[in-house]
Amino acid sequence: MTAFVLNEIRKGFYLDSVALMRLSREIAALPGVREAALMMATPANKAILRDAGLLESGDVEAHGNDLVVAMRADDEPTARAALGQALLALDGRKTQSGAHDAWTPRSIAAAVSAAADANLALISVPGEFAAAEARKALRHGLHVMMFSDNVSIEDELSLKQEARERGLLLMGPDCGTAIIGDAPLAFANKIKRGPVGIIGASGTGTQEVSCLLSEAGSGVSHAIGVGGRDLKKEVGGITTLMAIDALDADEATERVVLISKPPHPDVARTVLARIAKSSKPYTVCFIGLEQVEVPANATFAPTLKDAAKAVLGGLRIGSGFDASAIAARHGVPAGRGARIEGLFAGGTLCAEAQVFLKNAGRRVSSNAPVPGVAVLENAQPGQGDRILDLGADEYTRGRPHPMIDPSIRDDALRTALENTDIAVILLDLIIGYGAHSDPAGHLAEVIAGRRPDAPLIIGSVTGTEADPQIRSRQVRTLEEAGVLVAPSNAQACEVALKVLATVKGEVDAHA
């Protein structure tokens, strides 16, 4: 059936990307509307609209400070009615926006004049403009956290060099999580304060470790995000090295955990040599590497849970949890294959799951593989475990991250539930500031009414009791929906492996 595409441009009208994505979803849900997108007309967004076939003539006369409303509907009257609703909603949003402040500065310079003692800029503008704003912030003497992604590595390097010259910390870009003192910045959790400093090149890795520490009774002094590329050769670990200096000098920090995907070997050497000079103990977690030679004052942890465990002393993660007992109570339904399908919102949780499965001798492929795991395209379809990072660019282009919009997982989850090759679905829920208000409730709706012989669903909730979503409530919702919930992502993997070992044992016994 043919569809009708309709575009409208609002010149000089700006709303932030999360507000626009929410509106896009509301409009797309109207009857007869097949797709709707409200986006600022930046070059990247215009390409997304073009690729999605949402532009009337293949292009649109609009610039980065103009808003495009684009939709595809069953017919013209439906499209026009939906457009009317979209414009009405935009006007409503604009009226609300800024209503909480009598006067709102329009630039960093004006904001600094109004708040002379401000010390940090949190930047989450579209990637094309983020470097320019970060540069302005540095020149006003502000430390910077760049939440924005799609910043070139050349810009990242020059910004970090400038920050270093000015004695300022540049966290990011693509820095999802940081905690400075009692300030949770962007996607962070409400963590107890304590003696452990975290340096994280990974947002969800930092969230998992900080939550495990907090829930086990310890706490975090500061969590400094450095951005996923900081330990690449091109950037040379500039922010990581500055963060080590900062935490070494910080009286509230007694020990430090460093979390990253495997760094460039030269950068790893530089960072480990700097750690060797520290008077504080370090735990190094380069997730995906099995062993790393670390200095005498450091220990190596191959997984996030090991990293948390290393600094917890006698405290236990998920006290009383027994993976074997749980696995013994929950077998895989008869007639199922033995594959694991991992559907992860957190990139580092996805990496951690791969490490567990790979080390258990399983054949694993992923769209974001750790060393030793096959790239998804090269894997034989239907063979081995498939562990997906649903927050990767190919899933989130023009869409919010699955932590904000868990529906990205829905289709893959429904497909996996029907796939008889799959024995276990492994997944994560990440709560906290910035995240969806009820990801467990959303998931429970999606899996409700699944067939009795559907794969087992095993997961974990990264979060704390003090988070707005309240971890125990999320866990209860999942358990009531029949999901096996472990205290950590690592323990969820452990349960999955034990369940499958039981299946293998039964198969062997019958052979």
Partner 1 sequence: MCAEENRELKPLLANRVKVINVGLEGFVGELRACGIEVTHVDWRPPAGGDPKMAALLAKLGV
Q: For residues 238 and 460, what is the distance between their CA atoms, to the nearest angstrom?
A: 33
Single-letter amino acid, residue 177? T
What part of residues 100-119 is at the interface with partner 1 (CB under 8 A)? 100-101, 104-108, 110-112, 114-115, 117-119
**Residue of 3, 383, 404 lying closest to 186 (CA atoms):** 404
98 binds partner 1 (CB under 8 A): yes
Query: Which residue lies nearer to partner 1 by CB, 121 or 373?
Result: 121
Least distance (Å) between residue 206 CB and partner 1: 16
Of 165-173, 207-215, 254-262, 308-316, which part binds partner 1 (CB under 8 A)?
A: 165-173
451 binds partner 1 (CB under 8 A): no
Least distance (Å) between residue 14 CB and partner 1: 4
Q: Is 257 helix (H, G, I), strand (E, B) or coil?
A: strand
Q: For residues 346 and 460, what is the distance between their CA atoms, to the nearest angstrom?
A: 11
49 binds partner 1 (CB under 8 A): no
Of 81-89, 125-133, 210-218, 356-364, which part binds partner 1 (CB under 8 A)?
A: 125-133
Query: Which residue lies nearer to partner 1 by CB, 185 or 483?
Result: 185
Q: For residues 121 and 124, what is the distance between their CA atoms, to the nearest angstrom?
A: 10
What part of residues 166-195 is at the interface with partner 1 (CB under 8 A)? 166-169, 180-186, 190
485 binds partner 1 (CB under 8 A): no
Cα 154 from chain centroid? 23
Q: For residues 190 and 132, what is the distance between their CA atoms, to the nearest angstrom?
A: 31
Least distance (Å) between residue 118 CB and partner 1: 5
9 binds partner 1 (CB under 8 A): no
List the alpha helices (DSSP H) in 332-384. Answer: 347-359
Token digits of residue 141: 């003497």
Query: Which residue lies nearer to partner 1 by CB, 145 or 298?
Result: 145
Query: Which residue lies nearer to partner 1 by CB, 116 or 509?
Result: 116
Query: What is the DSSP track for 179-213?
Result: EETTEEEES-----EEEEEEEES-HHHHHHHHHHH
Least distance (Å) between residue 433 CB and partner 1: 5
- The residues facing 73 across adjacent strands are 4, 33
Single-letter amino acid, residue 156? E
Site track for partner 1 across 58-97, x = CB under 8 A = -----xxxx------------------------------x
Least distance (Å) between residue 254 CB and partner 1: 14
* Contacting residue, 29, 132, 501, 507, with partner 1 by CB under 8 A: 132
272 binds partner 1 (CB under 8 A): no
For Cα atoms 482, 483, 487, give the angle at the middle one, nearest 5 degrees: 140
* Contacting residue, 32, 126, 262, 281, with partner 1 by CB under 8 A: 126
Query: Which residue lies nearer to partner 1 by CB, 189 or 354?
Result: 189
Site track for partner 1 across 27-46, x = CB under 8 A = -------------xxxx---
**Residue of 384, 392, 348, 400 lying closest to 367 (CA atoms):** 392
Token digits of residue 6: 């309709």
* Contacting residue, 384, 402, 434, 455, with partner 1 by CB under 8 A: 434
What part of residues 227-266 is at the interface with partner 1 (CB under 8 A)? 233, 236-238, 241-242, 245-247, 249-253, 266
Token digits of residue 318: 């998920």
Is residue 178 a contact partner of residue 259, using CB atoms and an 8 Å limit? no
Q: For residues 485 and 209, what is the distance between their CA atoms, to the nearest angstrom?
A: 17
Q: What are phi and psi of 279, to 5 degrees?
A: -90, -5
Least distance (Å) between residue 29 CB and partner 1: 21
Q: For residues 24 and 37, what is the distance between their CA atoms, to the nearest angstrom?
A: 5
